[in-house]
Amino acid sequence: MYVAITSIDPLRIYIYKEGLVRFATEPYKCLNTKRTSFSNSKFAHLTNYSLNKKNEGFSEGEDPERDDQGLKWSLSALKKHLAEKNVNVDHVFSEIESIVIKTIISAEPKMLEAFKKFVPYRTNCFELLGFDVLLDSKLKPWLLEVNLAPSLTCDTAVDHKIKSKMVADLFTLAGMIPDEKQTLAADP
C-alpha cells in the first residue's frame, strides 16, 4: 500500500486507493498440526518478484489488461475478489488503515523533531512510504514492514498501470505542477 505524508505539523496522511498485491508461487503449508514445523520453501514464504520469477510456478498472467491474474494483482482486483467471496471488504481495509495510521503516529514524535530541525517551510516536502501488509487465513492484516523508498520499478503491466498513476497523483497532491501548466496558469 502506498502512503503519502504531506505534512507533519499538522499531520496529513494519504493512503492511495490502489496498490499491489503479491502472491507466493507456492502455497504456504504447515507440516504438522502443532504448528511447530513449516514448509522450508522460500517460494512459499516470500512474494518478492525477482525471486519468484525463477520458480516453475511463476505466472504473470495471460492478459496484460487484466489485473487479477498471475502472482501480482491490483488492490482493486483483490477487493473485488474478496467481495465475490462475501468478505466484508470495508472491515478488512478499515483494519489496514488503522494499522497505517497507528504506525505513523507511533513515529510522529521523531518525525516532528526532525521536521522542526531540518524543514524551514512546512509545505516544501513530502514522503512516500510503502506499507507491506500480510492478510492471514482469517483475513486479519499484519504489518510486515514499512519501506521509506518503495520500489517504483515497473516489471509488469499492472506495475506500470498502478505506479505511474500513483506518482502522478502524488505530485499533484504535493503541489507540483508541470512547467507548461505553470506558464499557462500565469498567463492572463
Report the CATH fold assignment for 2-186: D-amino Acid Aminotransferase; Chain A, domain 1 (3.30.470)
Q: Band of the pLDDT at 136, cuts 50, 70, 90?
A: confident
pTM here? 0.80
Kindly indicate the confidence band of residue 90, based on its pLDDT and cuts at 50, 70 and 90. Answer: very high
In terms of pLDDT, which residue wins out, 44 or 132? 132
Cβ atoms 24, 46 nearer than 8 A: yes
Q: What is the mean pLDDT of residues 64-91?
A: 89
Model confidence band, residue 143 (pLDDT cutoffs 50, 70, 90): very high
pLDDT of residue 68 exceeding 60, the answer is yes
Q: What does the pLDDT look like over 30-47, one tens digit per residue?
A: 655 555 545 566 555 556
pLDDT, residue 132, reads 93
pLDDT at 168: 93
Nearest to 132 by CA among 143, 121, 116: 143
Q: Rounded mean pLDDT of 110-119?
A: 86
**Are the beta carbons of 130 and 167 closer than 8 angstroms?**
no
Among 70, 79, 77, smallest CA distance to 156 is for: 70
**pLDDT, averaged across the chain:** 82
Whether the Cβ atoms of residue 69 and residue 80 lie closer than 8 Å to each other: no
Beta-carbon contacts of 172 under 8 Å, excluding residues fewer than 6 positions away, are: none
Is the pLDDT confidence value at 58 over 80? no
Please compute the mean of the pLDDT values over residues 51-65 and round it to a whole number: 64
Secondary structure of the chain in the HEC alphabet? CEEEEEEECCEEEEECCCCEEECCCCCCCECCCCCCCECCCHHHHCCCHHHHCCCCCCCCCCCCCCCCCCCEEEHHHHHHHHHHCCCCHHHHHHHHHHHHHHHHHHHHHHHHHHHHHHCCCCCCCCEEEEEEEEECCCCCEEEEEEECCCCCCCCCHHHHHHHHHHHHHHHHHCCCCCHHHHHHHHCC
Domain boundaries, the chain: 2-186
Query: What is the distance between the alpha carbons of residues 138 and 75, in angstroms, rounded to a whole number?
Result: 18
